[in-house]
Amino acid sequence: MGEKLYSRYLLDEYPVMFYSSLAVALGLNEAVLLQRINLWLNCKPHNADGRSWIYNSYKSWQEQLPFFSESTIKRALKNLADKGIIIKGNFNKFKMDRTIWYSIDYNKLDKIIDNLNLPLGQNDTMILGQNDTTNTNVYTMSNKKEKKEKSKTDIDLVIDETNYNDELKEMIYEFIKMRKTIKKPMTTIAVKRLINKLDKLSNNNKEKIQILDKSIFNSWQDIYQLKPEEKQEAKYEHELTYTADDFTPEQYDRLMRREMSKEEMIQILKEKKNV
């Protein structure tokens, strides 16, 4: 059976409403949060691996659901994840970003509630109250499974011929994607030259990843040798992790849109973590 993209226990319109059967089965807090997540997921039909995904910081969620504390939201998310209703993913642009993405397993939700034989009718609807229609962060993510199912291109074959690990290969694809974004698409020959230059600049896979990551972050057309101080910084960055909660919503939005320099990002994190 194909993946369900809806559930009769969730609504797709404002104001925020939910079925009492949803609250009975999952808990009031979980029902309110799940209904809101469903609305966010339906803002735009953007999919990754056949699903819509959202990310948000706990602080931003609390601002949009002011009747909940951050700790309440965290507990509700954990409870929903433990039941398998909420699915977690990681589609962040940078490997050090540990921000969690969320989707809903509608099949799992329906199965849990159906097994309880709860009534669902006109008198089952509960209205929590009108709320704002603040957009949460819903981004289009490339479907990696689709890419693997397609016939391999000449560029795929060139990358496959290397002895690079999967992380480094994926970073090359990210560089190619960035080049296309800045309207400087790469040919097969250009990818071969990129790999040759990368091998000349370093024989260390981690450094190669850092070299590519720096060019991707700054939208540079070419790659460059790391400076000694950058190699030390690369070691720090390798150990550094963060989530959306380490930034203000405006800062994280700039980061996701590559409008923040890496230097600014690191400085913000150092100040946040008192490094």
Instruction: Categorize the per-residue pLDDT at 144 as very low, low, confident or very high, splitting at 50, 70 and 90.
Output: very low
Task: Tell me the pTM.
Answer: 0.52
Partners of residue 127 on adjacent β-strands: 17
DSSP the chain: -PPP---TTS--SSSEEEEHHHHHHH-HHHHHHHHHHHHHHTSS---BTTB--EE--HHHHHHHSTTS-HHHHHHHHHHHHHTTSEEEE---SSTTB-PPEEEE-HHHHHHHHHTTT---SGGGEEEEE-------B------HHHHHHSPPPHHHHHHHTS---HHHHHHHHHHHHHHHHTT-PPPHHHHHHHHHHHHHH-S-HHHHHHHHHHHHHHT-SS--PPPHHHHHHHHHHHH--B-GGGS-HHHHHHHHTT-S-HHHHHHHHHHHHT-
Q: Specify whether 245 is located in the same domain as 175.
A: yes
* Number of domains making up the chain: 2
Q: What is the mean pLDDT of residues 208-220?
A: 86
Q: Is residue 135 part of a domain?
A: no
Q: Is residue 14 within 8 Å of 130, Cβ to Cβ?
A: yes
Residue 138 lies in a domain: no
Same domain, yes or no: 161 and 263: yes
Q: Tell me, what CATH number does 62's domain have? A: 1.10.10.10
Asked if residues 172 and 164 have their Cβ atoms less than 8 Å apart, the reply is yes
Domain that holds residue 211: 144-273
Q: What is the pLDDT of residue 132?
A: 42
Q: Are residues 33 and 100 in the same domain?
A: yes
* 177 in the same domain as 93: no
Calculate the CA dihedral of residues 36, 42, 48, 50 and round it to 10 degrees. 110
Q: Which of 95, 129, 163 is the last residue of a domain?
A: 129
| One domain for residues 111 and 175 | no
**Same domain as 257, residue 210:** yes
Are 117 and 161 contained in the same domain? no
User: Of 129, 162, 191, which closes a domain?
Assistant: 129
Looking at the fold, whether 151 and 60 belong to one and the same domain comes out as no
Domain closes at, from 129, 152, 181? 129
With beta carbons less than 8 A apart as the criterion, state whether 33 and 73 touch: yes
| pLDDT at residue 216, as a whole number | 86
Q: What is the CB-side half-sphere exposure of residue 136 using CA atoms within 13 A?
A: 26
Question: Would you put residue 78 in left (φ > 0), alpha (ψ -120 to 50) or beta?
Answer: alpha
> What are the pLDDT digits (tens) for 59-113?
778 888 888 888 888 889 989 999 999 998 877 766 667 778 889 999 999 988 8
Average pLDDT over residues 47-67: 80
- Are 263 and 168 in the same domain? yes
Each residue's pLDDT tens digit, 246-272: 888 788 878 777 777 777 887 888 777
Render pLDDT for 150-204 as a digit per residue (tens, 0 to 9): 588 999 999 999 989 887 898 899 899 889 888 899 999 999 999 999 999 988 8
